[in-house]
Amino acid sequence: MRDSIQKKLRVGWFSFSCCEDSTILFTELLNEHYKEWLPRIEFCSAIVLQKKSEIKNLDVAFIEGAITSKKQEEQLLLIRKEAKKLVAIGACACVGMPSMQRNLFPEELKKEIEELIIRFQYAERVKKVSDVVPVDANVPGCPMDEKVFVSVLDTYLKEFGIVG
């Protein structure tokens, strides 16, 4: 379906700490839009859809989830370097919550989870995406607002000359 000579929007879809509800909504949006999108979008990385992953020279990186560890932060910085546009998808990416809820735990609960935080090298605080890298657009909502997502995607399909 996606093999064609037409110029395509090079896209990556990346999930960090979250419930991946927006990933699910995206796969459901394909139900209606696959005939329109697949000839126009090249998925360079989207682990939910394919093994192939090429995080290079992306037109748009969609980032779902909050940033919970140094390792995730480094990966996000790498993606930002390789993407002309970066879009925060869903509440955890845009504002941090609810994945950020441990930042607000009282001392007693923080103590309870301390050993896990150390053992698996979690960051001291959970961050939203814009705390780590510049964000070009936000698709808010828990899960993401589908209409806003389609509108952001349409904007980039035009901006990158994929559609007239």
Partner 1 sequence: MHTLDLTIADISKIEGKASCDIKVREGNVEEVKFTIAEYKRFYTQAIRGKDVVALPQLTARICGTCSNAHLLCAIKAVENALKLQPTLQTILLRKLLNFGLIIRDHGLHLYVFVLPDIFGKDSILDFDVQNSLEHKYLDDTFAVKAAGNNLSIVVGGRSVHAPFATVGGFTRLPLHEELQKSLAELQATRPRILDLIKLFFEKDTTLIIDDLDFAAVVDSEYSFLYGNLIRSDGESVDSEKYGEYLEHVVIPYSHASGYRFDGNVYMVGALARLNLAKQYLHPKTKESTKKYLEVFPSKNIFHNNLAQAIEILHAVDSSIDILKNLRVLPEKPLPIKRQEGTGIGVIEAPRGALYYKLEVDASGKIKTGRIVVPTGQNQISIEGSIRKFLEKNIANIDSKEKIEYEVERIVRAYDPCMSCASHFLKIHWK
What is the rounded CA–CA span in Å between residue 82 and residue 120? 27
DSSP string for 68-81: EEHHHHHHHHHHHH
Burial of 148 (0-12, 13-18, 19+ CB in 10 A): middle
Smallest distance, partner 1 to C-beta of residue 80, A: 19
Does the footprint of partner 1 cover residue 96 (CB under 8 A)?
no
**29 or 159: CB nearest partner 1:** 29
Q: How big is the site for partner 1, counted in residues (CB under 8 A)? A: 46
Stretch that binds partner 1, among 47-55, 79-87, 132-140, 155-163 (CB under 8 A): 47-55
Interface with partner 1 includes 17 (CB under 8 A)?
Answer: yes
For position 2 contacting partner 1 by CB under 8 A, the verdict is yes
- Name the residue nearer to partner 1 (CB basis): 50 or 151: 50
| Pattern 74-93, partner 1, x by CB under 8 A | --------------------
Strands 137-139 and 83-89, by their bridges, are: parallel
Residue 114 CB-density burial (10 A; 0-12 exposed, 13-18 middle, 19+ buried): exposed
Task: Show the beta-strand stretches assigned E in the chain.
Answer: 9-15, 41-46, 58-64, 67-69, 83-89, 122-127, 137-139
Q: What's 145's DSSP letter?
A: -
Enumerate binding residues for partner 1 (CB under 8 A): 1-3, 15, 17-25, 27-28, 30-32, 34, 38, 43, 47-53, 68-69, 72, 98-99, 101-102, 105, 109, 112-113, 115-116, 119-120, 122, 142-143
